[in-house]
Structure 1
Amino acid sequence: MDVSSLVAAVLSPILLVALFISILFFTKRRSPPPSGSDVRRLPPSPWGLPLLGHLPLLGPLPHRKLKSLAEAHGPVMLLRLGRVPTVVASSAAAAHEAMKTRDLAFASRARVRMADRLLYGRDLVFAPYGEYWRQARRVSVLHLLSPRRVLAFRAVREQEAAALLDRVRHSPPAPGGAMNLSDALISYANAVIKRAAFGDDKGYGIEGDEGGEKLREVFAEFEGLLGTATVGEFVPWLAWADSYLMPGLDARVARTFEVLDGLLEKVIAGHRERRRRLGGAGRIDAGDGDDDDRRDFVDVLLDVSDTGEEAGFDTIGIKAIILDMFGAATDTTYTTLEWAMAELINHPPKMRKLQDEIRQAAATATANGAGRITEAHLGKLRYLRAVLKETLRLHAPVPLLVPRETLQDTELLGYRVPAGTRVMINAWAIGRDPTAWERAEEFLPERFLEDGPAEYAVVGQNDDFRFVPFGAGRRGCPGVGFAVPSMELALASLLYNFDWELPRQEYQGGGGLSKVDMSELNGLSVRLKTTLRLVATPWSPP
């Protein structure tokens, strides 16, 4: 259940009766607010309800509602989500201070019930700041997501991009000749991370699931549950209502955890057995002198564990980090690609400009690369990078970056922020701030061509925090370098090999072409509300 479902739940009739009685009780016992400069210097706060605080204000799309509230109350606001004090930062200046100037003070995480249950309480993304988090981040940055490791998966990305094109070519057409591009993109993103994590052994899956559909469904359920908030997390005295409002939730969590844990145990046992056969060697000779080329994430993590390079890094830590990689890589990749295609369909001149760049690059390539798109082309495709960056500005996959928690009393733009305060950074609002961006609501990739090559991961190394879709500082996403080549290669391949348009029969009653409905659906990430169905016409060089 996302935040909008949580709001609907706590306002159900039975709970409203309990709420009314509790309000009367707490109103009589409520003490007057303390006086003093510290209280006056807290961030401004909208009016809220007793006990529930500002939960009912958030609505079905919290990032949009919080942007509206920030326009009225300022770029730093204090909300109370039930009993949880929450500061919302909605400007580049506030993001800069929270993620750079005072990064350490804002570097922790609040405990999240679903993360604890599904990720063993030992993952990287949701771990509180401390020695275990530092260890997990070192492992991820130095061993899993280094530029050398990312480059080692180039063949995987290119093979899965070719498989994506085959899905488009052979997809059963719907009315109007359209194919389900959303499903194809999800399959692509899932396949890339599955092969990077587990390797190419076809035996790693669910029994009787030769096509991998059941495994994709399990990971979809995992991601949906991970984005579920329970009433008790925000309003502890209503924790009893979780089982009433979400019947079967505990069983779903237990079932999903059992399937994924069994799969990971099977994968790790298989890798250990292979290492035993090889005399304990974790590295696999690729035949070209570089013995790192064929190591997947599990191989790398077992090397770290077996060598004792990171003390205490055990099997549970390996499983937790692998699940982190699945959740982050799949959602970020497919939602960004989906939004990019939707924006290009709605802006045909931009699509044609990008296709011209891609097809020209392929036409002038050497004989080995001519007539197809490979990663060797990507460095030359400046407009492609600008399109993806503009997509991320308008449609950050996680518009409210994973919430932080303050380690100590600190400040944000002059306001006092007490220790233990949850902090949300509204990357979606920052990306659409009219004081920071000219024509902020328009899709204008050209804006990212003005300052040279459009890079993704330089935030936190400079003072420009107007663009923070991946966060920054200590808690910034370490997987940017892994996700970007997957997104660039897939989008370039789709636009090189096909011309795209909307199906006529699904829009305006068959009376002509319209635009993609850009309505949003909130969850672990924010994606298109409706499935993206497009007509793909094969293209080949003249």
Structure 2
Amino acid sequence: MEWSSSGWFPVVIALCVVALLKPLFDAVFFTPQSKNLPPGPRFFPFLGNYRWLFLSFSQMEPILKDLHAKYGPIVTVFVGKSPAIFVASHELAHRALVQNGASFADRPPPLVSSRVMSSNQKNINTSFYGPTWRLFRRNLTAEMLHPSRMRSFSKSRRWVLEVLMKRLGEHPGGEVVVVEHFQYAMFCLLVLMCFGDRLDEKAIRQVEDCQRRLLLRVNRFNVLGVWPRLGKVILRKRWQELHGLMNYQREVLSPLIEARSKFIQEYRQTDGEQQERTVAYVDSLFNLELPEEKRKLNEEEIITLCSEFLNGGTDTTSTALQWIMANMVKYPHIQEKLYQEIRGVVAAGSEEVEEDHLQSMPYLKAVVLEGLRRHPPGHFVLPHAVTEDAELNGYKIPKKGSINFMVAQMGWDPKVWEDPMEFRPERFLGEGRGDGFDITGSKEIRMMPFGVGRRICPGFGLAILHLEYFLANLIWRFHWKAVDGDDVDLTEKLEFTVVMKNPLRALISPSR
């Protein structure tokens, strides 16, 4: 018996319905374990998995904490179609990032917005593990982070210290909200290190404004990667906002780069090679050649690397410094103990705690380490990826997925740290701690505020130097106490970093 064309129509419709509903029904029974991924909640397609793109890390963190309590130290959730694996175990983090560092040193494919903001991954943070990443990291380490080069900026740090002290000194015995002053000081320092020039306050404010606008809005653009082609129509205004911010950044940073390039050319045409000059980070970028493309960096790529340099040393450092000072105000006995240590090293009447003094202050180092443990500026490191399918704790880690490490949870693990939510610098003193504490996690990971392994933040040494130097001088020059009737609120809020929800307000007076 032959079927008419109309007889086929219901069958075709039925098959189409089955094809459309099959992923949904499969999802009901599909769990990550069915593909030997780490355990996690069931995978629901469409809205059920894309919801993670709309969550901030502060919203994700309590959800992930519950998932770890249910499934164990390594879990899988799906972001879109891709698995995202989250690790909360010190041992597994060490096994992945240190013992198998080369395999876990890649980055996952970036979101569309990330490619725009990174000039198609032309910076250290987002580059895939390979020649381009090695070039950028080696250049930064050699040109700016070598100990001799770090020492060469001691005069710059002293200048910025006086800028900060002058601003704070305008409030003697009065109330001061410190975070704005810390941020401004860090931008003064990093702009000088990046572009080799001391800019006036108006120019510094403009650089700070363009950088922070991008940082504080970065999560708004994650949604642009859900359906990129359709999004260019539906989310046209958000695309315009992103491109507007990028254009603003170019307008601010491009003249600084051009001015420095002109200065270098004039310097070389004179007898400048025989004269001392301040070396700037941007100087090292003009002649870099991309190894795979065999060309020099274009202006957009230089802007991206300069922006990364500024962000890496300003917001994170000022955030960490505010958290530490909040605890100095909250716990006067810790502040007093630190002051007495400084007093035992620095001559009476000295206006500055010099960098050479820092090595003789173990309690100062303990305070900084405890601040980074208790209040890491980032509660996650940037996502890692494996270069090829790998195995961790018996589970598959797929090449196209991402693997994330929960920094804050590791620093607060009661199995590793006694009373982890207390601010207790003494835990870093004694044998095997203090100067001997390995922040790089090469032997074992107890906390990882800078990450660990091959993708560890290359500027961690500079960051610790800045924290120690400015903290010591803040305690040496001023006495800090809480505003009457106002206990220090340590509630957190996510911006680019995890900051104080209610910024620190303190009464300061000249040191006793």
Is TM > 0.5 for Structure 1 vs Structure 2? Answer: yes
RMSD of aligned Cα (Å): 3.2
Aligned with residue 190 of structure 1, among 187, 190, 202 = 187
Residue pair 2:31, 2:39 contacting (<8 A) in 1 also:
no
Computing the radius of gyration over CA atoms, which structure comes out larger, 1 or 2? 2
Aligned with residue 240 of structure 1, among 224, 227, 231 = 231
Corresponding residue SS for 2:286: helix
Q: Distance in 2 between matches of 1:100 and 1:59?
A: 25
Aligned with residue 44 of structure 1, among 31, 36, 39 = 39
Q: Distance in 1 between matches of 2:437 and 2:211?
A: 27
Instruction: Map Cα deviations across residues 168-191 of structure 1 (whole Å, 9 max, x no partner).
Output: 111499xxx311101011111111
Aligned with residue 407 of structure 2, among 427, 436, 459 = 427
Instruction: Map Cα deviations across residues 196-253 of structure 1 (whole Å, 9 max, x no partner).
Output: 11112538xxxxx7363333222211222345442243x4389639955xx8433332
Matches within 5 A, 1:85-484: 85-110=83-108, 111-121=110-120, 122-171=122-171, 177-202=174-199, 210=202, 212-233=204-225, 235-236=226-227, 240=231, 248-280=237-269, 291=276, 294-302=278-286, 304=288, 312-316=295-299, 317-363=301-347, 370-450=350-430, 451-454=432-435, 458-460=439-441, 462-484=442-464
Task: From the superposition, tell whether residues 58 and 170 of structure 1 become closer, same or farther in structure 2 (CA, over 3 Å).
Answer: closer
Q: Distance in 1 between matches of 2:18 and 2:181?
A: 54
TM-score for the superposition, normalised by structure 2: 0.86
Task: Structure 2: state its 5+ residue gaps.
Answer: 1-16
TM superposition shift of 1:46: 2.7
Corresponding residue SS for 1:145: coil
Task: From the superposition, tell whether residues 537 and 49 of structure 1 become closer, same or farther in structure 2 (CA, over 3 Å).
Answer: farther
- The equivalent residue for 1:508 is none
TM superposition shift of 1:296: 1.3
Q: Distance in 2 between matches of 1:301 and 1:257?
A: 20
Q: Distance in 1 between matches of 2:481 and 2:202?
A: 33
Q: Distance in 2 between matches of 1:360 and 1:237?
A: 61
Q: Distance in 2 between matches of 1:40 and 1:262?
A: 49
Q: Distance in 1 between matches of 2:416 and 2:287?
A: 46
Residue pair 1:144, 1:300 contacting (<8 A) in 2 also:
no
- The equivalent residue for 1:485 is 465
Look up the equivalent residue of 1:519 and give its one-letter code: T
Residue pair 1:103, 1:473 contacting (<8 A) in 2 also:
yes
TM superposition shift of 1:320: 2.1
Look up the equivalent residue of 1:425 and give its one-letter code: F
Residue pair 1:63, 1:429 contacting (<8 A) in 2 also:
no
TM superposition shift of 1:36: 12
TM-score for the superposition, normalised by structure 1: 0.82
Residue pair 2:195, 2:280 contacting (<8 A) in 1 also:
yes
Matches within 5 A, 1:525-540: 525-540=497-512
Higher share in helix: 2
- The equivalent residue for 2:476 is 496
TM superposition shift of 1:481: 1.9
Corresponding residue SS for 1:335: helix
- The equivalent residue for 2:8 is none
Q: Distance in 2 between matches of 1:503 and 1:284?
A: 54
Look up the equivalent residue of 1:340 and give its one-letter code: I
Task: Structure 1: state its 5+ residue gaps.
Answer: 1-22, 204-208, 505-511
Q: Distance in 1 between matches of 2:259 and 2:401?
A: 43
TM superposition shift of 1:469: 0.6
TM superposition shift of 1:519: 1.4
Task: From the superposition, tell whether residues 284 and 159 of structure 1 become closer, same or farther in structure 2 (CA, over 3 Å).
Answer: farther
TM superposition shift of 1:285: 5.4
TM superposition shift of 1:264: 3.1
